[in-house]
A = this chain, B = another copy of it.
Amino acid sequence: MRNIKIIIEYDGTNYVGWQKQINGIGIQDKIEEAIFKITGEKVNLIGSGRTDSGVHAKGQVANFHTKSSVPGEKFKDALNTKLPWDIAIIESEEVDYDFHSRYDAVAKKYSYLIYNNATRSPLYRNYSYHVPYVLDFEKMKRGAKYFLGTHDFASFAGSKNVLEDTCRTIYNINLSHKNDFIKLNIEGNGFLYNMVRIIVGTLIDIGRNKIQPKEIPNIIIKKNRKFAGHTAAAEGLYLEKVYY
């Protein structure tokens, strides 16, 4: 058996998320179907983690075991001919048999796009979070800095979070502003369920002057979801990169 690692870009708009749900099709299913068409094997595709419905990826990572003799780097083009237009393999390679996309991930990078204009945008409706309120960008930047470093992020975990250890380390967090867009880049050793979206929701509440930047350390200390801001919409979130 060989082990194939793939890097995937997808538009999450038309899926229930990475993983199959009772109510619809997951991105994982579509890729497993494509692998079946190429290899004739029903594989179990292991993703680096799940993404919710509407969340996008530019660099999701997954791996699967196969008896196929297709060279690792050839899977990219072969699978792309079988995948729908909203999913593409951007890299493929054979890796050590032991490599595991989820367990071996040491860090992840996400980005989040806010569209900040009084009127909604048809062109960005599925690719950004529409915030029609005036936002104080400089305050948001000051607030973001408090997330850096190692903290217990229990206040920033959605109710579906099942991880017992809620301590995580944020290596980088950066906000930039161009025209009507505010973009967050965030890198950490791991993220709890909805953690990026709750951080963004909290930063938006800071931008709206509902929370002050210096309150962030207190919100973290509370270890209680109800003290943080709202959960920002799925469609603004992009899984950019998984580090191994």
Q: Which residues of A contact B (CB under 8 A)?
A: 9-11, 56, 58, 76, 80, 85-90, 119-123, 125, 127
Contact = CB atoms under 8 A, between A and B. Distances in A.
Given A76-B119, A80-B120, A119-B80, A86 B10 contact: no
Contacts of A120: 80, 85, 88
Contacts of A119: 76, 80, 88-90
A88 B9 CA distance: 28
Q: What is the count of identical protomers in the complex?
A: 2
Contacts of A89: 119
B122 A127 contact: no
A79 to B, nearest CB: 11
A11 B126 CA distance: 11
Contacts of A56: 123
B86 A11 contact: no
22 contacts: A9-B121, A9-B122, A9-B123, A10-B122, A10-B123, A11-B122, A11-B123, A58-B123, A76-B119, A80-B119, A85-B120, A85-B122, A86-B122, A86-B125, A87-B122, A88-B119, A88-B120, A88-B121, A88-B122, A89-B119, A90-B119, A123-B127
Contacts of A85: 120, 122, 125
A11 B121 CA distance: 9
Given A9-B121, A88-B119, A90-B119, 5 more contacts: A76-B119, A80-B119, A85-B125, A86-B122, A87-B122
Nearest to A89: B119
A45 to B, nearest CB: 17
Contacts of A86: 122, 125
Contacts of A9: 121-123
A56 B80 CA distance: 26
A120 B58 CA distance: 12
A90 B123 CA distance: 12
A87 B120 CA distance: 9
A214 to B, nearest CB: 36
A27 to B, nearest CB: 10
